[in-house]
A and B are shown apart, each in its own frame.
Chain A
C-alpha cells in the first residue's frame, strides 16, 4: 500500500495543494485534511503515515506566526500528535508549518528518548530586514543530521517566502546542544562556497541569510530525526521549470526522474520520507 500523507489545511494555510502534489509525485497517496476534521475526530491522524503542515499565513500570523494554529494543535490534538511521533511517523512543517511546529513545541522537542512534551524551546522572529520577502536561497544540509527527510542531500536551492524566519534559541548553550546532536539540519550558505563546505556559524550578510537566523539556521529536526521543519520551500522547486535559471539552462538537475530530466532539487526530501515509511512500517 502506498504511504498515506495527511496534508493539513484551513485557517490560512495556503501551500496545501502543492504539498499534496509533491508527495503524489514521489509515490504517496496524499489528502488535504482540514485541521478541524482531526480536532472533531471525524478523521483519525493515526490512519496516516506522514503528516505535513504546509506553508501559509495561518490566522494571518497575528500574535506571532504559527502561534494560534499551534495552540489549536497543542491543546486539541495533543494526544494524537504525541502518539504519531511515538509511533515513529514522520512530520514535516514548511515555512508557516515550521513556525507551527516550533510554537507547539514539537521542534526542537525534548531530548532523545522522551515523548513530545509540547514545551516551546525555540522561536522564529521577524526577519532582521523587517520585510517579508520572496527570494531564492542556497541551502546546505548537515550530513550527520539524524533527520530522515534530508538523508543523502547535500545542497539545494529554493525560495524563502517569509517575514518571520529568524531562528532563535534562548541561550547559546541550548543552541550548541542542538548543534551537537546535529539537529541544526539545514542552513543558509554562501552559494560561492564549494558543496560540503558552506556551513558556517557566523551569520551571513543579507540576503544570503534572508533573515539573520542564529548560525544561519534554515531548518531543524527533533532528536528522533522524524520531525523536521524548515523556512524555505522545497516543494516550490519540485520542477526545474520553476527554477529562476531554467531559461539560462543552468537550473540544477536532480537525480530523481519523477519529471524525466525536469525534476527539481526539492522533490528528494519528500521521496526520502516516503521511502522511509515504506522501509520501516
Chain B
C-alpha cells in the first residue's frame, strides 16, 4: 500500500530543496490522556484510529521497532504541537473517542506525526526537522542515523500546558510623567501613543467620573488593567483606523498645494458612497456593519467583506492564513442578523518563490510562506464548504518582509426574515441576553489587535498566532443560520480583533450599555485573568443577542448542533460598558468615551515624486524569447496548481470557474456564481491589484487596481450599473518617526491613492461599501528595514443578469474575429517587462509613464457597451489585458482554447511597438466574435475604441505582426508549458 503522506514529504523536499530522498514513511500518533485502559483502547484501535483496510494500528507502540519497519531508517523526525496550540485532529479524535468510550468524559487526545526517512543519509536531521515544523507552534524530535541504529526512537509526551496563575484585577496608576506613560503603553503592548495616554489620564481626573466610579465600588482615580486593555483594544489602529481618520497636513511639492484633510476615510471613501446612495435603491447597508450589503433581487441581498491577516501569516503562514479566511467568514455571518457565506476570494502578495538572496532573521523563505498560507486558506475554505471563486498571487521582493494575505467572503441572506424583519438591520434592545457562541476563550490570541498595529520584530509574541478550527465554526454557522430563520437573533457580531471587549462593546452602542460577567465565560484552560478573558481573540466565536423569551429555543438549537452557547452579558441603557468578574466590578467605562474618546491623530504628508531610473527599451529584441520569459514570470505564470486545490464549486453555483478553456487551464478573469439553485441570475466577483505602480505613483496604483477589477468583471458579463467595491489598503507605516524617516512621503502616497480612489469610483458609479486597512507592513528598522510597496486590493461584486450569457478568455473557434477594445498608450513605466529587463541588467530602470486612467467616464461607457454585447450572446470570448500587455493576453487566450491566432497590432494606439505589445495601458480588453455576430458587435461598439486585431486560426501558432514586421511566432503548446511550469512546485505525482 502506498504511503501518500510520506510521498508528499519526499516530493516537496525535491521540489523546494533539490533533495533526493529514496523513500519516506509516515506514522500518525495519538497521545491519550484518560481513564480507559490501554487494553480497552487496543481492542478498538481499528474502530477509530486506524483504517482496518489500509492501515496498521496498535496501542502503546512507536511501531518503528516492529516488523512493519523491517528496514532501519536513516533518520526519524516526530512533529507534534506545543502545549496550548489548537490541535484540530486531536479535537476530532477526542470527539470520536467519546463515541467509543462515553464514560471517559475528561479524556484528551493530542496528535503527532512521525516520518521515517530512507536514503537520506547525507541530510542534516536538524535541518530536516526544521523544514517539517514551525518552532513557534510545534515541537520536533529527531533520531539521527546512530540513534536509528540503536533503536532510540523519538517519543513525544502529552503537551500539558503549564499551570496558569490567576492574576487578581489590579489598577494602574497614571498619575505619572510622560515617559512613564509611554513605558506603560510599550511594556504592556498597548500600542497607545502619548496623546492617547493623556486622554485616558484626563478621563480618570474627571470629578464626575470619579464620583460615579466610587458609587460602583471601582478604583475612582485610576484605570483597572481590564479598562486599560479594553481601551487599548478599542482604540487600536486595527479597530479604529486612526490613520484613515487622522487630520493630515498635506504638501505637494509638484503642484505647490498646501492643504489639510480631515479624515481620508470620510472625505474620499464614505462621502462618495453616501452621495451615490442617494441615486440608487440597492445600497442597503454601507460601512457600519461587518460587511457592506446590497440588494441583489427583490428577495435576496448579498454582502461582501475582505480582510488581511499579514502579521500572523508572517509568523505562522498556515495558522495565520487559516484564521484569516475563517475570520472573514464570520464577518459575513455577523452581518445584519446573519448572512450565509457563499464564496471566498484570496489574494496573496509574497516574495519571489525562487528567491536565492539572503533572508533577514526570523523570516521564512517565500516558497515556505506560499505553501503555508495556501494550505491554511485551502483547509479553512474547503472544510467550511465555501468555494474559492476568485483571487490572485502577486510577487515582489519587498513582500519578503511582510507577506500580504487578503481573504474575502461573499454572503447572501433573505432580505426579510420569516418574521418580517429586514435582515440587514440589527434590532437589539436593553434587556437582551448576550451569548458567546462557538469556541472557548484561551491564551491563544491575546493582543492580536494591538500586535497587528505594531511592526514585526524578533520579540513578536507567539500568542498572537492561532490556528483556526473550521469544523467548530461550520457547526456554529449551521446553528446560527437556523436560529436566524427561527427569528431568535436580535443582534449578532463576530469576535475578531479585541475579542469580547470589541464585539460586545460595539453592539452595546445600539442600546447604549451592557453588563458583562467575565466569570461566566467558558475557558479552554483555567487561570485566565479578567482582562485576558475580555480581550482574548480566540477563534470561532460569535456574540449573539437573544430576547429573554427566546433563550430556551436558542439553547436547544445549540445543543442539537453540539455548539457551546453561554450567556455572558446583558444589554442595558445605562450608558456604561460595565464589566464584572463575579460580583466585583472590574471595568466601568462610559460607552461614548470607549468609542469616541480617542483623540484624532495629526499627521504630516509631503509629496515629491520618486525618482526612478528610466526604462529604456532595447534597440533589438527577440520577442519570441521575451514572450516565453514573460509567461514564466511568477507574476504572470499560471497559478493553477495552487488554485485547483481550492474547492471552487461547492454549493453548485460556480458558472465561471478560476480556470477555463478546453483543458480548463486558461485564466478566468472573474468568478461568476448563480447562487439560487435552478435560477441563472448571477453575481460577478473580481479583483484588481497593481502594487508596483506605487514605485512611480501610488495614485496611479489605486486607479489601476480599480480599473482592473472592473475590467475583469466586464470580461465575464458584469452589469456595470450595479456593482460595489471593497477597498483594502496595505501600507508601510506612514507616520513620520525615528524608525520611519520617510513617513511623510508614505503618507502622501496614501493621500494620492485615496484621491484617485474617489475620482475613479465616482466616475464608475462604483460605491465602496466596506473596506479595511493594515498600516504597519514593515520589517526591521534602519538600513535593514523592508517596507512593502503601498498596495490597494480592490475587490468588486456586481450583478450578472444571466450566467448563460457569459464570456471567458479562451479562444473558441477558428475564424472568430479578434478585436482590441481600448487604446494602447506609451506607458511602460513599472510594467512587468520593465522589471524583467531590470533583473536582467541592473543598469536598466523601471521609470517612465505609468498607466493612467485619464477619462474614466469614457471607459465606463465603453464597458457598458461591451457588457451589452456579452448579454446579447454575441461575444463569448473576452480577456483583460494587464500584466505583460497584449502579447501575454493573446498567449493566454490561445492557451485556453489550444488554438492559434494571427494578429496585427498596427493601429492599436499611440505607443511604439514595445508599448503596444507589452504595455499595460488601462481600459483594454481583447474580444473575439463569431463572424455572424461581427456586425452587431461593431454596431453596438460604435463610437468606442474598437480595433480589429486579426482572427483565430486553425493552427497551433500565435503570430503577431506590426504591419509588415513579424514580432512573434510561437507554438501554443510551447507557450503553455512555459506558462504552467514556474509555479507548479509539486514535484509531480510519482
Contact indicator A55/B650 (Cβ below 8 Å): yes
**Distance to closest chain A CB from B132 (angstroms):** 15
> Which of A15-23, A145-153, A220-228 lies at the interface with chain B?
A15-23
B110: CB under 8 A from chain A? no
Shortest distance from the beta carbon of A56 to any chain B beta carbon, whole Å: 6
Q: Which residues of A contact B89 (CB under 8 A)?
A: 60, 62-63
- The smallest beta-carbon distance between A152 and chain B, in angstroms, is 23
Cβ-based interface call for B7 (8 A): yes
Any B CB within 8 A of the CB of A278: no
* Given known A129-B989, A248-B810, contact A120–B378 (CB-CB < 8 A): no
Q: Are B810 and A60 in contact (CB under 8 A)?
A: no
- Chain B residues with CB under 8 Å of A239's CB are 674, 678, 680
Q: How far is the CA of A22 from the CA of B652 in the complex (A)?
A: 10
Minimum C-beta distance from B439 to chain A (A): 14
Question: A131–B986 contact, CB under 8 A?
Answer: yes
Contact with A along B803-846 (1 / 0, CB 8 A): 11011101010000000000000000000000000000000000
Docked Cα-Cα span, A42 to B719, in Å, equals: 47
Contact residues of B between 365 and 401, Cβ < 8 Å to A = 378, 382-385
A29 contacts the other chain (CB 8 A):
no
A133 touches B644 (CB 8 A): yes
Which single member of B48, B664, B674 contacts A63 (CB below 8 Å)?
Answer: B48
B302 CB to closest chain A CB, in angstroms?
16
State in angstroms the CA–CA spacing of A95 and B649 once bound together: 14
B806: chain A residues at CB < 8 Å are: 246-247
**Contacts of A233 on B, CB cut-off 8 Å?**
649, 652
Q: Is the CB of A128 within 8 A of B989?
A: yes
- With beta carbons under 8 angstroms apart, the residue of B47, B470, B804, B989 that contacts A60 is B470
- Of A64-72, A79-87, A178-186, A268-276, the stretch lying at the interface with chain B is A64-72
Q: Judging by beta carbons under 8 Å apart, are A12 and B647 in contact?
A: no
B5 touching A25, Cβ below 8 Å: no
One of B2, B474, B655 near A12 (C-beta < 8 A): B474
For B53, what are the chain A residues with a Cβ–Cβ distance below 8 Å?
120-123, 168-170
A48 interface residue (CB < 8 Å to B)? no
Question: Is B616 at the interface (CB under 8 A from chain A)?
Answer: no
A259 within 8 A of B: yes
User: What are the interface flags for B718-758 relative to A under an 8 Å C-beta threshold, 1 for contact and 0 otherwise?
Assistant: 00000000000000000000000000000000000000000
Interface string of B629-667 (1 = CB under 8 A from A): 000000000000000111111111111110010101000
| A208: Cβ under 8 A from any B Cβ | no
Indicate whether A9 reaches chain B with its CB closer than 8 angstroms: yes
Closest CB of chain B to A163's CB: distance in Å? 9
Report whether A18 and B660 are in contact in the complex, using a CB–CB cutoff of 8 Å: no
Residue of A whose beta carbon sits closest to that of B646: A134
Q: Which residue of A lies closest to B680 (CB)?
A: A241
Residues of B within 8 A of A68 (CB): 92, 95-96, 99
Docked complex Cα distance between A180 and B674 (Å): 42
CA distance A72 to B99 in the complex (A): 7
CA distance A197 to B434 in the complex (A): 62
Asked if residues A59 and B471 are in contact (CB atoms below 8 Å), the reply is: yes
A242 in the interface, Cβ–Cβ < 8 Å? yes
**Residue from A10, A64, A241 having most chain B Cβ neighbours under 10 A:** A241
- The 8 Å CB contact of B644, one of A12, A57, A64, A135, is A135
B876, A14: Cβ atoms closer than 8 Å: no
Complex alpha-carbon distance, A137 and B699, angstroms: 45
Q: Are A248 and B48 in contact (CB under 8 A)?
A: no
Tell me if B92 and A59 are in contact (CB < 8 A): yes
The answer, yes or no, to whether B211 is at the interface (CB within 8 Å) is no
Instruction: List the B side residues contacting A60 at CB < 8 Å.
Output: 88-89, 92, 383, 470-471
Nearest-neighbor residue (CB-CB) of B475 within chain A: A11
Report the minimum CB–CB distance from B323 to chain A (whole Å).
Answer: 15
Q: Quick check: B378 and A132 within 8 Å, CB to CB?
A: yes
B562 at the interface (CB under 8 A from A): yes
Given A14-B385, A21-B678, A168-B53, the answer on whether A34 and B88 have CB atoms closer than 8 Å is: no
Q: B553-576 vs A: 1/0 string, CB under 8 Å?
A: 000000011100000000000000
Smallest CB separation, A20 vs chain B (Å): 8
The distance from the CB of B11 to the nearest CB of chain A, in whole angstroms, is 7
Interface centre among A13, A59, A170, A262 (most CB of B within 10 A): A59
Contact-residue bracket for chain A: 35 or more
Smallest CB separation, A55 vs chain B (Å): 7
Which A254-272 residues have C-beta < 8 A from chain B? Answer: 258-259, 262
* Interface: B677 (CB within 8 A): yes
Interface string of A99-141 (1 = CB under 8 A from B): 0000000000000000000001111011111111111100000
**Given A63-B49, A71-B96, A235-B652; A244-B664 close (CB under 8 Å):** yes
A236 located at the interface, meaning its Cβ lies under 8 Å from any Cβ of chain B in the complex? yes
Is there a chain A Cβ closer than 8 Å to B280's Cβ? Answer: no
Count residues on chain B whose CB falls below 8 Å from chain A CBs: 68
* Chain A residues within an 8 Å CB radius of B560: 34, 36-37, 40
A126 near B4: Cβ-Cβ < 8 Å: yes
Contact B654 A242 (CB under 8 A): yes
C-alpha spacing A248/B986, complex, angstroms? 30
Q: Is A172 an interface residue (CB 8 A)?
A: no
Q: Is A155 an interface residue (CB 8 A)?
A: no
CB A215 to nearest CB in B, in angstroms, measures 16
Q: Which residues of A contact B167 (CB under 8 A)?
A: none
- Evaluate whether A63 and B96 lie within 8 angstroms (CB atoms) in the complex, with A132-B645, A135-B664, A244-B657 already known: yes
Interface centre among B47, B49, B650 (most CB of A within 10 A): B650
CA distance A248 to B648 in the complex (A): 20
Is there an interface contact between A59 and B96, defined as CB atoms closer than 8 Å?
A: yes
Q: Residue of A at shortest CB range from B560?
A: A36
Query: Contacts of B4 on A, CB cut-off 8 Å?
Result: 125-128, 130
Question: Given A134-B644, A134-B646, A247-B807, A126 and B5 touching (CB < 8 A)?
Answer: yes
B208 within 8 A of A: no
* Distance between B6 CB and nearest chain A CB, rounded to angstroms: 9
Known: A63-B96, A241-B674. A11 touches B649 (CB 8 A): no
**Which one of B99, B644, B646, B812 contacts A75 once the chains associate, using CB atoms below 8 Å?**
B99
CA of A37 to CA of B653 in the docked complex: distance in angstroms?
28
User: Is A238 in contact with B471, judged by CB distance below 8 angstroms?
Assistant: no
Given contacts A12-B471, A34-B560, contact A262 B680 (CB under 8 A): yes
- Determine if B7 and A130 form an interchain contact, defined as CB atoms under 8 angstroms apart: yes
- B54 and A246 contact, CB distance less than 8 A: no
Query: Contact between B677 and A17 (Cβ–Cβ < 8 Å)?
Result: yes
> Are B680 and A63 interface neighbours, CB within 8 A?
no
Contact flag A130-B8 (CB < 8 Å), given A60-B471, A67-B96: yes
* Residues of chain B contacted by A244 (CB below 8 angstroms): 657, 660, 664
Say whether B51 faces chain A, with CB atoms less than 8 Å apart: yes
Q: Mark each residue of chain B from 87 to 111: 1 if its CB lies under 8 Å from any CB of chain A, else 0.
A: 0110111011001100000000000
In whole angstroms, how far apart are the Cα atoms of A158 and B47 in the complex? 33
Contacts of B877 in A (CB 8 A): 247
Minimum CB–CB distance for A37 against chain B, Å: 7
Among A61, A136, A206, max chain B CB count under 10 A is at A61
Smallest CB separation, B625 vs chain A (Å): 31
Q: Bound complex: CA of A136 vs CA of B53, how far in Å?
A: 28
Contacts of B649 on A, CB cut-off 8 Å? Answer: 134, 159, 161, 233, 236, 242
Report which of B5, B382, B678 forms a contact with A57, defined as CB distance below 8 A. B382
A249 at the interface (CB under 8 A from B): yes
Q: Which residues of B contact A (CB under 8 A)?
A: 1-2, 4-5, 7-8, 11, 47-49, 51-54, 88-89, 91-93, 95-96, 99-100, 378, 382-385, 470-471, 474-475, 478, 560-562, 644-657, 660, 662, 664, 674, 677-678, 680, 803-804, 806-808, 810, 812, 876-877, 986, 989
The 8 A-B pairs with the shortest beta carbon distances in the complex, nearest first, are A14-B385, A21-B677, A62-B92, A18-B652, A123-B53, A130-B8, A126-B4, A62-B89
Beyond known contacts A68-B95, A248-B812: 10 more, CB 8 A cutoff:
A10-B475, A14-B474, A18-B652, A21-B677, A55-B650, A68-B92, A128-B7, A132-B645, A235-B652, A262-B804
| A–B complex contacts, Cβ < 8 Å, 8 sampled | A14-B474, A21-B652, A72-B99, A125-B54, A132-B378, A132-B382, A241-B680, A248-B808
